[in-house]
């Protein structure tokens, strides 16, 4: 419950900071559109709902993790040091997305594609790093079926990686639009929402990683 509350507060603050400016509203209709409530924007509402669902999902997983480790057959595993590097890469990806979002709000079209490409490369590097961790564990005999701690580790990190891959789909669409010459207004909302999603998954990972290290 504490984890769910923490993520909900963070999500609410992040959405408030990002959506107050409504950067996706075209300039020619901005004067009248700014009075519309948040619910008028379907994509913003969809993202809010998605983040609420993801929050509940990971909160339940981590709660089950904390309860399961109390049983006698639980054998704590040693997390590979590579996870620290992966964490740093994910932090860098989130920073890169925030930088790109700021350039989009400034209308700086030439800097958007480089920012998106750097963000994508860092995110792919994080996924590759996670795959390397899983292979390292398998090579050392720490299979998913060895004990419950291993099973939870693979499930939690795998679920997080899948959510990032889902975000990469939206990232790829926005990047393709930039490559094909779309103007800033047509991709600004996608960049805005992706930035929020990346920040959110970074917080989820930091909480999850902290839980794994402490147990």
Mean pLDDT of 75-89: 90
In this predicted structure, what is the pLDDT of residue 116? 94
pLDDT tens digits for range 119-177:
999 999 999 999 999 999 988 888 888 788 888 899 999 999 999 999 999 899 889 98
Q: Which of 39-43, 147-151, 197-201 has the lowest mean pLDDT?
A: 39-43
Q: What is the phi/psi pair of residue 142, to 5°? A: -85, 70
What domains can be seen in the chain, in order of their start residue? 2-214 (1.20.120.80)
CA atoms within 13 A on the CB side of 59: 14
- The larger pLDDT score, comparing residue 7 to residue 121, is at 121
Q: Which of 28-32, 80-84, 129-133 has the lowest mean pLDDT?
A: 28-32
């Amino acid at each position: 419950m504490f984890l769910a509350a923490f993520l909900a507060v963070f999500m609410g603050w992040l959405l408030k900071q990002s959506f107050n400016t409504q950067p996706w509203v075209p300039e020619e209709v901005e004067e009248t559109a700014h009075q519309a409530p948040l619910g008028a924007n379907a994509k913003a509402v969809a993202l809010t709902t998605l983040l609420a669902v993801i929050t509940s999902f990971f909160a339940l997983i981590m709660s089950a993790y904390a309860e399961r480790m109390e049983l006698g057959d639980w054998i704590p595993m040693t997390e590979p040091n590579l996870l620290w590097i992966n964490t740093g890469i994910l932090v860098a990806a989130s920073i890169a997305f925030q930088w790109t979002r700021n350039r989009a709000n400034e209308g700086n079209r030439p800097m958007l594609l480089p920012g998106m490409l750097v963000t994508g490369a860092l995110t792919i590097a994080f996924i590759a790093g996670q795959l390397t961790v899983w292979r390292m564990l398998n090579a050392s005999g720490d299979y998913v079926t060895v004990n419950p701690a291993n099973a939870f580790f693979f499930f939690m990190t795998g679920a997080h990686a899948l959510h990032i891959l889902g975000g990469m789909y939206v990232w790829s669409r926005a990047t393709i639009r930039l490559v094909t010459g779309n103007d800033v207004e047509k991709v600004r909302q996608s960049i805005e929402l992706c930035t929020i999603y990346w920040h959110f998954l970074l917080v989820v990972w930091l909480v999850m990683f902290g839980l794994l290290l402490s147990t």
